[in-house]
Amino acid sequence: MAMLEVPADTGAPDDTGIPDDTGGSGARLTVEPAGPRTGVRLAGVRVTDLTDPEIEAIRHLIGEHGVGVFPAQHLTPEEHVAFMARFAPITFTPGVDPLPGHPQVHVVADNGGTADRGVRLHTDTCFVARPPAYTSLSAVEIPAQGGDTIFVNQYDAYESLSPVMQGWLRGLRFKHVVSGTARPEAVPDPVWHPAVRTHPVTGRQALYVTLPERCVEAEGMTPAESEALIGFLYAHSESLLGMYRHRWSVGDLVMWDNRCTLHSAVPDHGPEPRVLYRVMCEGEAPYE
Ligand SMILES: O=C(O)CCC(=O)C(=O)O
Ligand SMILES: [Fe+2]
C-alpha cells in the first residue's frame, strides 16, 4: 500500500509541489496530514487567494489523499462556488433543491440528527453517467457535540483485497440507481460503472462501490451472487481503519475526491441544528 507522503510542515521548503513564492497574498499555504492514511490539512491562506499552481498542487494532493481540510475559511456561497469552479465546472445532483438564489449550492441540513439513519458511507451522485469528481462542504452551523463527517480510502480498499478478488473485479461493472433524493424521477435510468476505477490524476486504482441500495447489480451475475459480492465489498470498505474523521468548526471548508473515497455524516448530534453548504464539480465517466 502507498504510504502517506505529505510531510508535516516545517517551515522549510517541502516536496508537496507547492511553490514557496505564491506571488499571491504573501501568506504561505501549509500542508500536513489530516489523518494517518487519508486527508490533508491545508492551512495558512484563504482559498480565495490561491494561485493557479497552488490549485494544481491541491488537485494532486486531494487525488492522492482523498480529502482536503481548509480550516476557518468562512466563505460566502459566491466565494465557495468560485473556488470549486477552479477545479472543474460546477455540477448539481439531479432531483435535489438548491439554496434559494444560489442554483449551484445545495444545503445539507440536519443530515441525520436522528440516530436511526446511522452511518451510511457513500460516494456522491454515482447514479449519473459522469459522477462529480469533487464535493465540498462549508460549515454554516455546527452542533456543540457530534455531527462529524467520516471518510474512508477506496485506494486502500482495493489494494487490501487479495490478488484473486482483484482479478475477479477487473472488467466487472456494477449497476447504480438513484436513492435518497427529493425527486428520484429526475434520474429514471440506471447507469453501469466499473467496479474498479483508475483515478485520472494519480493513475491509481480504487474500489468503486457504494451503498448496496444504490449499487444494485454485478453484470452477468445472479441476484444472489451480486448481493453477496457487493455486500462483501461494501463491508470491506466500511471496515477500513485508515479513515479520516472531521470534527467541524463553523467556517471550515472540506473538499473530497469522490473517485477514491467514501464518506458519511455521523448522525449523533440529536436535535441541535447542523447546516453545511455543498458545492460539487463535474467528473469524468468512470473508467477502469
Ligand atoms: O453531512 C455530511 O457530513 C455529509 C453529507 C453528504 O453526504 C454530502 O454532502 O454529500
Ligand atoms: Fe455525500
Q: Which three cell numbers stand for residue 66?
A: 482523498
For range 181-208, the mean pLDDT: 96
Q: In this predicted structure, which of 17-26, 57-66, 90-99, 120-129 has the lowest mean pLDDT?
A: 17-26
User: Residue 210 corresponds to which amino acid?
Assistant: T
pLDDT > 80? residue 111? no
pLDDT > 50? residue 12? no
pLDDT > 50? residue 7? no
In-domain check, residue 14: no
CB 276 within 8 A of CB 138: yes
- The reply to whether ligand 1 has any atom less than 6 angstroms from the CB of 210 is no
- The reply to whether ligand 1 has any atom less than 6 angstroms from the CB of 106 is no
In-domain check, residue 95: yes
For range 244-249, the mean pLDDT: 98
Q: Which residues 6+ apart lie within 8 Å of 270 measured at CB?
A: 113, 143, 146
CB 134 within 8 A of CB 255: yes
- The reply to whether ligand 1 has any atom less than 6 angstroms from the CB of 135 is yes
The 10s digit of each residue's pLDDT in 219-232 is 999 999 999 999 99
The CA dihedral of 104, 209, 237, 277, to the nearest 10 degrees, is: 10
CA angle 273, 276, 279 (to 5 degrees): 160
Q: What is the domain range of residue 228?
A: 30-288
Q: Which three cell numbers stand for residue 132?
A: 462529480
For range 155-171, the mean pLDDT: 97
pLDDT > 50? residue 183? yes
List C-alpha distances in Å: 64 to 59, 117, 162, 194, 201. Answer: 9, 30, 22, 20, 8
CA of 128 to the centre of ligand 1 (A): 18
Mean pLDDT of the chain: 90
The 10s digit of each residue's pLDDT in 26-77 is 678 999 999 989 999 999 999 999 999 999 999 999 999 999 999 999 999 9
Residue 16 pLDDT class (50, 70, 90 cuts): very low
The protein residue whose alpha carbon is closest to atom 2 in ligand 1 is 265
For range 136-154, the mean pLDDT: 97
Compute the distance between CA of residue 110 and CA of residue 133 in angstroms, rounded to an integer.
24
> What percent of the chain clears pLDDT 90, i.e. is strictly above it?
83
DSSP code for 222: -
pLDDT > 80? residue 186? yes
Question: What is the distance in angstroms between the CA of the first residue and the CA of the last residue of the chain?
Answer: 19
For range 71-96, the mean pLDDT: 97
- The reply to whether ligand 1 has any atom less than 6 angstroms from the CB of 280 is no
> What percent of the chain clears pLDDT 70, i.e. is strictly above it?
89
Residue 1 pLDDT class (50, 70, 90 cuts): very low
- The reply to whether ligand 1 has any atom less than 6 angstroms from the CB of 111 is yes
In-domain check, residue 278: yes
Residue 15 pLDDT class (50, 70, 90 cuts): very low
In-domain check, residue 4: no
For range 136-148, the mean pLDDT: 96
Q: Looking at the CA of residue 111, tell me the nearest atom of ligand 1.
A: 1
In-domain check, residue 218: yes
Taking CB atoms within 8 Å and a gap of at least 24, the contacts of 54-57 are: 54/18, 54/19, 54/22, 54/24, 54/29, 55/86, 55/87, 56/17, 57/16, 57/17, 57/18
CB 87 within 8 A of CB 59: yes
Among positive and negative, which fits the CA dihedral 95, 101, 104, 106? negative
The CATH number linked to 171 is: 3.60.130.10
- The reply to whether ligand 1 has any atom less than 6 angstroms from the CB of 265 is yes
In-domain check, residue 12: no
- The reply to whether ligand 1 has any atom less than 6 angstroms from the CB of 137 is yes
pLDDT of residue 70: 98
pLDDT of residue 18: 46
pLDDT of residue 114: 58
Compute the distance between CA of residue 1 and CA of residue 240 in angstroms, rounded to an integer.
13
Compute the distance between CA of residue 258 and CA of residue 124 in angstroms, rounded to an integer.
6
pLDDT of residue 10: 38
CA of 140 to the centre of ligand 1 (A): 13
CB 50 within 8 A of CB 233: no
Number of domains in the chain: 1
In-domain check, residue 10: no
If you search the block for the grid coordinates 449551484, which residue do you land on?
104
pLDDT > 90? residue 14? no
In-domain check, residue 16: no
108, 117, 211: which to mutate for ligand 1, most atoms within 8 A of CB? 108
Q: Which three cell numbers stand for residue 53?
A: 499552481
Residue count (the chain): 288
List C-alpha distances in Å: 258 to 163, 220, 263, 269. Answer: 24, 26, 9, 25
Residue 2 pLDDT class (50, 70, 90 cuts): very low
Among candidates 254, 259, 286, 271, which has minimal Cα distance to 39?
A: 254
Q: Looking at the CA of residue 278, tell me the nearest atom of ligand 1.
A: 9
